[in-house]
Structure 1
Amino acid sequence: MLYEQFFMLHRKLAVNAPVHTATEVTLEQIADTLYCTSRNAKLVLRKLEEKGWILWKAGRGRGNRSKLTFQADQAELLQEAAQQLAEKGEYKQAFELLRTYGQGIRTNDSYVEWMNGHFGFCKEMKEGEEEARDSLRLPVYRLIETLDPAECYYSFQAHMIQQIFDRLVVYDKAKDQYMPVIAHHWESSEDGTNWTFHLRKGILFHDGKELTAEDVKFTVERLGQDRRNAWIVRELHSVEAVSPREVRFILNKPNRIFIRFLSSICMSIVPKHLLIHDEEQFWRLPVGTGPFQVEEWTEERLTIHANAHYYQGRPHLDSIQIIMMPEDAEHCNVSWERLLQDSEQFGHGGDHHAVDIIESSEGCTTLITWNMKKQGPFQSVEFRRAFNLILNRSDMIRELGDNRLYPARGFIMDEQAPYRKDFHDPEFAKSLLRQSGYDGSPVIMGTLANHIKDAEWIQNQCASVGIPLMIREIRMDTMLHPDVVNSMDCILHGLVLPGEEVCIIENYEQEGSIVKEFMDSSLQDWVKECIDDALASERCEERLSILSNIEERLREEAHVSFLIHTRFFASLHPSYKGVVINNLGWLDFKQIWRA
């Protein structure tokens, strides 16, 4: 890349020199800088000169050195190069270029401004298509490691899975009703151990094959085969395809809310006829029955386009491009929440300052979970309680701002959250630290890039009482690796848990859940017993009461320190219609359109 060769020369030979100032240099120095031969160095210099980026005056005769003059502004050229890479979809390379040769992505305001214009709504022509697509291009700051419902863990993975796949039913929390999707009717035995579902006719996978009860049976049996989300079928005795459109589930124990289990995203139905032949190949371009189908999936991007034959109505948008940005680029201001504001960039008239604010009904709770499987001062309950009492969450909200709303006392933000008083007591915390026998050894806290500000704030509070807190920034794709998990004394993380029973249970049972993985075995066994008791209960109030006992024990024994409740917000121009933030904190793609 000619740009990069210019930047290599500039960094080596004229990093502090003004533009248009000649620098004495030998051809050998040029070749060494570009890691090439002298002959190739001459070719590069000629190309750079043709571009007007440099002037090269070769030295003649013994002792006469050559002179190199940089004509182009390095910062402008760097932005131009990064933009060209981004326009080709090579976003990671663009940010790598900025990191290597610029002042870093955090301070490159003009590039960030350009990126915000590059993302969002656009009209896109594809080769061979007569009409431009209505597309939405959005950045995310983590890899989509899987689109397999059986292996899904993070909320964004779950969000994308529900664009591609469907479930038997979905739960509408606002209406407190189960809504038919693939199944149009269902019934259960009085004791909650036998459940039968009747399937719609004519539901097609994206490859045109009709979904049947065999696909449901295959999906659920596959889920129980040592998958991350196998917890959800641990008490399933058998599943039977009674007919092509009738499927029956037999449970070992009563589960009064098994239908709610079936509405979980990990229960999304996958095609038996494709997966049974070559599972590895299938997940390179997965096929479902959902409103969008996968067009392209690489490390750089995921492109999905509208399923024109979707049985619940075609999406209004033609395609969605999810661009995987480097995680460390999250510190800049390129985010999907701000991308639907500026009508001017799309050529529309009207009031460019009119902005609608939408927010989610659910949110995210941040918390610190202690690693009870690792030795350290935090094995003492007095130490953990002291740590909790150090933190003034109201100050944290006021000082850090953004979408931090209320001090958290539990996993779910309830109606009392705005009025609940936060309790902190640094002096009592110091007394507890003395009781614990704390010797001043450092505590290692792991967290993701988007929680670094919170971690640094907590680090300062800890320093005030003599606890040295060491922060380790970890990546989303390595967060659950055993060597990473085992090296952390605690992890500061966020949980998106819609206030429903199954989501709470998932937090305690799912393979890889930090809350579960950091529990000792005796606590895990007690939690499982509580969950079984809750599932056997007929009344919702009784189930929630039993589940709240788990949270109460975790809080009282300070296995977790709840921090802040947040909520998801987005700003958009009024020309965008049908925009809703779902309970996973993301846009519901199917209903979006532009007036």
Structure 2
Amino acid sequence: MRQLNRLHQYQRLWHATDGEAQSVSVAELAARCFCSERHMRTLLRQMQQAGWLSWQSQSGRGKRGELHFRVTPESLRSEMLEQALNTGQQQNALALAQLDADDLRTLLNPFLGGFWQNETPTLRIPYYRPLDPLVPGFLPGRAEQHLAGQIFSGLTRFTPRSTLPQGDLAHHWDISNDGLSWRFHLHSTLHWHNGDAVTAGQLQQRLLLLLELPALRKLFASVDGIEITHPWCLTFTLHRPDYWLAHRLASYVSCLAHPQHPLIGTGPFRLLTFSRELVRLESHDHYHLGHPLLKAVEFWITPQLFDRDLGTSCRHPVEIAIGEPDELQHLQPVSNSISLGFCYLAQRPGARLSQAQLRRLVQIIHDTSLLQTLPLDENLINPTRELLPGWKMPDWPPQNAPLPEKLTLLYHLPVELHTMAEQLKRYLTTLGCELTLLFHDGKNWDGCTQLASADLMMGDRLIGEAPEYALEQWLRCDPLWPNLLSAPHVAHLQTTLDAVQRQADERERNLALQDVFNTLMNDAILTPLFNYQYRISAPPGVEGIHLNTRGWFDFAEAWIPAPAR
């Protein structure tokens, strides 16, 4: 990018005198810019024609000329950035924005939010960390899970207006009387993001690839096979009824990519750019459902400093600002909610802790001021005694069983759990119990080697659009449970879940699952700690933003009013 190189040369000239006028020779300027005198004269002429500076040379070799600066390098960079963004040259904009984190945020602030770019509506969102690759299977981050649902489609889907799965790639499905055969009838006009028509064979191939993943094999353990029983019909054959099947297929983990091109999907937005600095989505012209009103959505990665002891992803951004409050003076809250997802405490039964001791630890957390006095930002968390609304912790008589002299607590991100762990450690010290803290640098338990030995665990459980199903999926697939419970206990739990999924009635199935979690809470194996308070703020003119259960909003429903002519 020649213009960027020219800007860098201009910065070298500027910084030599902090923008003050100077009397200088061409040879001295060439030395500052690491170029020949001939090229320096060309640069001076080009910069003068562009209006950046004025240069009055003197005839004769080695004579000193007068150099006056007319604009600052920062204003030039901002002007070039705006031009690159307005003409859709994101890569040039990225090159212009290669600055330190604080300078980058300052430079980007005026260009974040909603804009009409090249006569098309574009939404730019600042984000605090690089996004992880969108690989098949479970994704730990809320942003990645949300993106997967915007780029890819499943046979079914969840919508904000219902906890029951709705049609997506399949416009409807039917179930045999015995619950062992599920036929999903596909739309006949589906297209991949590259414009190719979708075939049932491609969807079958991708589904079979997903079922080879160990975690998803657990999720779809009841599935015997997937067959094409008509050019536009996929039939799932089960060896035992599973009335969660449509829910499982609506989860983001079951969204279907092209079998040969894993980043090409059929969702409302196609992935155009995915890098550590920029993620850009553009609307899919052949989307089979409601067409997005936004043409493009961009994530501009503006990294911040992190706590090195807590890894590089320790922040838990429950507040999304589309634009920066310091620069966008009219930024205003547009949506807020209490998350259904929760942070939790899990305790290992039997080995070193009796049930009375387990219950006492729960009471220490919930019946003292420990949760209410966490040194956290105001309006960030909401202490809770419920896993889901109505799924309450039991009330026990006061427990006074003496605690062991030593215990270990293992926890992962978000950073609020670090604060919680430190607070609990200090409290238990006053009771004569030494609590050793172990930190797993991750958003879930994947790859954690200490999970099988810790006495206590604290983690974060994200909840999707169907809360009860999300908790069933957690029990069935998360590595926490086989590491926390004994083998007979795990086997009994899985058998119970198999019995729950056989119930065709949604209400009865949810009540049966609630009984499973009531038992875990009554045995003090699992207890909720707190929910998050999700908030989204946006500048005026960005409409259609409503929080979903992951603290994000559906890009396909957001819109930007056309500018006044």
Question: In the TM superposition, what is the alpha-carbon distance from 1:331 to its structure 2 partner?
Answer: 7.6
Q: Distance in 2 between matches of 1:369 and 1:322?
A: 35
Q: Which residue does 1:339 correspond to in 2? A: 322
Amino acid at match of 1:411: L
Q: Which residue does 1:305 correspond to in 2? A: 282
Question: In the TM superposition, what is the alpha-carbon distance from 1:211 to its structure 2 partner?
Answer: 1.4
Q: Quick check: 2:182–2:237 contact (8 Å CA) kept in 1?
A: yes
Question: In the TM superposition, what is the alpha-carbon distance from 1:195 to its structure 2 partner?
Answer: 1.0
C-alpha RMSD of the superposition: 4.3
Question: In the TM superposition, what is the alpha-carbon distance from 1:529 to its structure 2 partner?
Answer: 0.8
- 1:262 equivalent to 2:249? Answer yes
Q: Which residue does 2:363 correspond to in 1? A: 389
- 1:560 equivalent to 2:552? Answer no
Question: In the TM superposition, what is the alpha-carbon distance from 1:365 to its structure 2 partner?
Answer: 0.7
Amino acid at match of 1:114: T
Question: In the TM superposition, what is the alpha-carbon distance from 1:297 to its structure 2 partner?
Answer: 2.0
Q: Quick check: 2:94–2:277 contact (8 Å CA) kept in 1?
A: no
Q: Quick check: 1:186–1:196 contact (8 Å CA) kept in 2?
A: yes
Q: Which residue does 1:179 correspond to in 2? A: 166
Q: Which residue does 2:152 correspond to in 1? A: 165
User: Which of these residues, 496, 513, 537, is aligned with residue 571 of structure 1?
Assistant: 537
Q: Deviations over 1:203-252 (max 9, x none)?
A: 10011221122123222222221343222211111111112211111110
Question: In the TM superposition, what is the alpha-carbon distance from 1:201 to its structure 2 partner?
Answer: 1.6
Q: Which residue does 2:294 correspond to in 1? A: 317
Q: Which residue does 1:475 correspond to in 2? A: 441
Q: Which residue does 1:461 correspond to in 2? A: 427
Q: Which residue does 1:225 correspond to in 2? A: 212
Q: Quick check: 1:305–1:318 contact (8 Å CA) kept in 2?
A: yes
CA spacing shift, 1:544–1:336, aligned 2, 3 Å = closer
- 1:581 equivalent to 2:557? Answer no
CA spacing shift, 1:554–1:176, aligned 2, 3 Å = closer
Q: Quick check: 1:389–1:424 contact (8 Å CA) kept in 2?
A: no
Q: Which residue does 1:531 correspond to in 2? A: 497
Matched residue SS, 1:584: coil
Amino acid at match of 2:320: E
Question: In the TM superposition, what is the alpha-carbon distance from 1:199 to its structure 2 partner?
Answer: 0.8
Matched residue SS, 2:362: helix
Counterparts of residues 359-398 of structure 1 (less than 5 Å): 359-360=336-337, 362-370=339-347, 377=352, 379-392=353-366, 396-397=371-372
CA spacing shift, 1:398–1:562, aligned 2, 3 Å = same
Q: Quick check: 2:271–2:281 contact (8 Å CA) kept in 1?
A: yes
CA spacing shift, 1:335–1:300, aligned 2, 3 Å = farther
TM-score, normalization by structure 1: 0.69
User: Which of these residues, 234, 239, 258, is aligned with residue 271 of structure 1?
Assistant: 258
Matched residue SS, 1:320: strand
Amino acid at match of 2:179: G
% same residue: 17
Matched residue SS, 1:207: coil
- 1:501 equivalent to 2:468? Answer yes
Q: Deviations over 1:313-334 (max 9, x none)?
A: 4323332233554682778898
Q: Quick check: 1:186–1:198 contact (8 Å CA) kept in 2?
A: yes
Q: Distance in 2 between matches of 1:44 and 1:488?
A: 60
Unaligned runs of 5+ in 2: 9-30, 36-73, 82-91, 307-311
Q: Which residue does 1:214 correspond to in 2? A: 201
Amino acid at match of 2:384: A
User: Which of these residues, 402, 408, 415, is aligned with residue 378 of structure 2?
Assistant: 402
Matched residue SS, 2:253: helix
Q: Quick check: 1:507–1:516 contact (8 Å CA) kept in 2?
A: no
Question: In the TM superposition, what is the alpha-carbon distance from 1:263 to its structure 2 partner?
Answer: 1.7
Question: In the TM superposition, what is the alpha-carbon distance from 1:335 to its structure 2 partner?
Answer: 7.7
TM-score, normalization by structure 2: 0.72
Q: Quick check: 1:370–1:489 contact (8 Å CA) kept in 2?
A: yes
Q: Quick check: 2:243–2:504 contact (8 Å CA) kept in 1?
A: yes
Question: In the TM superposition, what is the alpha-carbon distance from 1:344 to its structure 2 partner?
Answer: 6.5
Which protein has the bigger helix share? 1
Q: Distance in 1 between matches of 2:211 and 2:140?
A: 16
Q: Deviations over 1:529-549 (max 9, x none)?
A: 111111111333332232123
Counterparts of residues 100-139 of structure 1 (less than 5 Å): 114=106, 117=109, 120-121=112-113, 123=115, 134-139=122-127
Q: Distance in 2 between matches of 1:439 and 1:44?
A: 67
Q: Quick check: 1:138–1:336 contact (8 Å CA) kept in 2?
A: no
Q: Deviations over 1:307-360 (max 9, x none)?
A: 233222432333223355468277889886233575974xxxxxx557344124
Q: Distance in 2 between matches of 1:111 and 1:387?
A: 46
Q: Distance in 1 between matches of 2:111 and 2:480?
A: 33
Q: Distance in 1 between matches of 2:98 and 2:473?
A: 34
Q: Deviations over 1:168-187 (max 9, x none)?
A: 22234644554322112221
Q: Distance in 1 between matches of 2:356 and 2:385?
A: 19
Matched residue SS, 1:256: coil
Q: Quick check: 1:448–1:475 contact (8 Å CA) kept in 2?
A: no
Q: Deviations over 1:32-71 (max 9, x none)?
A: xxxxxxxxxxx89999xxxxxxxxxxxxxxxxxxxxxxxx
CA spacing shift, 1:246–1:369, aligned 2, 3 Å = same
Q: Quick check: 1:576–1:593 contact (8 Å CA) kept in 2?
A: yes
Q: Distance in 1 between matches of 2:426 and 2:223?
A: 49
Q: Which residue does 1:239 correspond to in 2? A: 226
Q: Distance in 2 between matches of 1:483 and 1:90?
A: 42
Amino acid at match of 1:409: R
Q: Which residue does 1:518 correspond to in 2? A: 484
- 1:548 equivalent to 2:510? Answer no
Matched residue SS, 1:527: helix
Q: Distance in 2 between matches of 1:466 and 1:93?
A: 51
Amino acid at match of 2:149: Q
Matched residue SS, 1:186: strand
Q: Quick check: 2:223–2:237 contact (8 Å CA) kept in 1?
A: yes
Q: Quick check: 1:447–1:472 contact (8 Å CA) kept in 2?
A: no
The number of equivalent residue pairs is 480
Q: Distance in 2 between matches of 1:371 and 1:172?
A: 37
CA spacing shift, 1:432–1:439, aligned 2, 3 Å = closer
Amino acid at match of 1:139: Y
User: Which of these residues, 97, 100, 105, is aligned with residue 94 of structure 1?
Assistant: 100
CA spacing shift, 1:575–1:298, aligned 2, 3 Å = closer
Q: Quick check: 1:120–1:336 contact (8 Å CA) kept in 2?
A: no
Q: Deviations over 1:406-444 (max 9, x none)?
A: 4433432x0587xx998896xx44x342xxxx1245545
Matched residue SS, 1:134: strand
Matched residue SS, 2:166: strand
Counterparts of residues 27-66 of structure 1 (less than 5 Å): none
Matched residue SS, 1:228: helix
Q: Which residue does 1:248 correspond to in 2? A: 235
Q: Which residue does 2:273 correspond to in 1? A: 296
Q: Deviations over 1:108-165 (max 9, x none)?
A: xx7697378267315587xxxx5576231331446414342x3435433221111111
Question: In the TM superposition, what is the alpha-carbon distance from 1:271 to its structure 2 partner?
Answer: 2.0
Matched residue SS, 1:577: coil
Q: Which residue does 1:26 correspond to in 2? A: none
Amino acid at match of 1:189: S
CA spacing shift, 1:421–1:516, aligned 2, 3 Å = closer
Q: Distance in 1 between matches of 2:120 and 2:185?
A: 40
Unaligned runs of 5+ in 1: 4-42, 48-76, 96-109, 275-281, 346-351
CA spacing shift, 1:439–1:451, aligned 2, 3 Å = closer
Q: Distance in 2 between matches of 1:174 and 1:394?
A: 37
Q: Distance in 1 between matches of 2:275 and 2:504?
A: 46
CA spacing shift, 1:423–1:457, aligned 2, 3 Å = farther
